[in-house]
Each structure stands twice: as structure tokens, then as C-alpha cells.
Amino acid sequence: MSKIRVLVWNENYHEQVSEAIAAIYPRGIHTTIAEGLSTDPDLTVSTATMDMEEFGLSEEALAQTDVLIVWAHHRHGELPDEIATRVQQRVLDGMGFLVLHSAHLCKPFVRLMGTVCRSRWRENDEKERLWVIEQGHPIAEGLPAYLEFEEEETYGERFDIPTPDELVFISWFSGGEVFRSGCCFYRGKGKIFYFRPGHEAYPTYYREDVRRILINAVKWARPINGPAHAFGHHPVPLENIRIQDHSDEIHPTL
């Protein structure tokens, strides 16, 4: 199997404007995520930020990406619609898409979901207990029954997404909320995984178990070389059937 090409993309805002956040992720949250992924010999990992040319998401960059990982929070509105369309189309064409934490409101994800994607939230250093509820799922490989984060941002239902095709994790928070924290979606030929933990104020992406989850998710979301699309009218039948002649019928134009 050839190596999976991963691009870790970050809006790169909080690390630049907050000394406290920069102290946790001095070289940017994308660098820490990439370092975790780079421990796996099956992956080739690169990084990009919103401050680069074409917002770090050029046609060339995406063409060389098998799985795109996005962390974003504050700058969703700055991403041009044209670039959001480009990412959306690449996912439909088969690129894997991992959407982390507050990136649930990034334009490409919201479009691919077709819903508002908002949730309840509270920054209060509460404990999170993340349960693995689909224990045979590839993203759960090697994990214990649950993970605990002593301090994380609280998210709560309702999380306004379509019902996930596969739900791998559910979180509980010490304030009482619950949240669908590991959600898989199939869109076109592409696979999408949303993973909730990873607020910028906590060192979540240094954890070995979180790194394990992201590596598992990249491998699950990698493009599959399945059959090409076969859309359109009047395909040649595979069986020997009589073809009816409808040429006399009048079809209303739409």
C-alpha cells in the first residue's frame, strides 16, 4: 500500500494572538497534530495554514492530499466560497476529511452536512469522558472503553448535524451535557470524520490516545479506488431484455 498523504490545515489564529495558547502550541496546533501522525510509518504528513497563498488550499495542494485534517474556530468567515467549494468537491471525489473540534462550523463541513452544525458550548474546564460506543469500528482500534480529559471545553446536544452514518464516540461532561463526539459520514466517494476534543486552551493533541484516534481515522478515511461513477439515462442493460421505444412520448421540459 502506498503511503497516505495527509495535509493538516490550521486557521492559525489563537496561537498568534494569545500568549497562553502559544505556550501550549508554540509552533501552532497543526504542527503538534502533524507530529502525532508522523509517528505512523504509513503516513506522509504535511501542514498548511490559512495565511498561505490560496489560504493553503490550492488546487495543487488538494490534488496531492489523500486526507485533509482541518482545525478552525475564529476565521471561518474568511475562507472564500470558491475555496470551500474546492474542498467540498475534492471530498465528493474521494478525499478523506477529518474535522476537528470547532471546525464543525467551517464552510466545507457545513455544506457537506447540509445543516447548521451548531451546538451548545461552555468554556469552564469541565471533565470530559469520551465513550467508545462502536467497539469494532476501525477508528476505535486499540482504544480502551473510554477516555477521560480532566479539563476540556464542554459541548452539548443538540449538535445540529444529520444523523451520522456511523457513531463511534459519545462524550459526557461533568456539567451534565452529552455530545456525539465521533461521527462518520459518507458523501459521494469521500469519507468524513468529525472528532470533538481539541479546544485550543488544552494540550489535547499531545495525548497518545488522541493521536491513535487520528491515525485510525486517517486510515479509515483514505480514498478507496472503487468503481467510477455511472450516472445518466438509458444505460445498456446487462441482461437480454426488450428495450421499449418511448420516442413518441412527449416529455415535459423542466
Q: Site residues (CB under 5 A) for Zn ion? A: 102, 153, 199
Which of 11/153 has CB closer to Zn ion? 153
Q: How far is the CB of 198 from Zn ion (least distance, A)?
A: 8
Least distance from Zn ion to the Cβ atom of residue 152, Å: 9
Smallest separation, CB 11 to Zn ion (Å) = 12
Cβ closer to Zn ion: 15 or 40?
15
- In the complex with Zn ion, which residue's Cβ is closer, 199 or 211? 199
Nearest distance from C-beta of residue 73 to Zn ion, angstroms? 6
Which residues share a beta bridge with 170?
131, 180
Q: How far apart are CA 144 and CA 196, in angstroms?
A: 17
**Closest residue to Zn ion using C-beta atoms:** 199
* Nearer Cβ to Zn ion (45/79): 79
For Zn ion, the closer CB: 85 or 124 = 124
* Strands (E) located in the chain: 4-10, 43-49, 67-71, 96-100, 120-132, 146-156, 166-173, 178-187, 190-195
Minimum distance from CB of 120 to Zn ion (Å)? 12
Give the span between the Cα atoms of 211 and 69, in whole angstroms: 13
User: Among candidates 32, 35, 13, 36, which has minimal Cα distance to 24?
Assistant: 32
79: left (phi over 0), alpha (psi -120 to 50) or beta: beta
Q: CA of 120: how far to CAs of 154, 180, 182, in Å?
A: 8, 12, 16
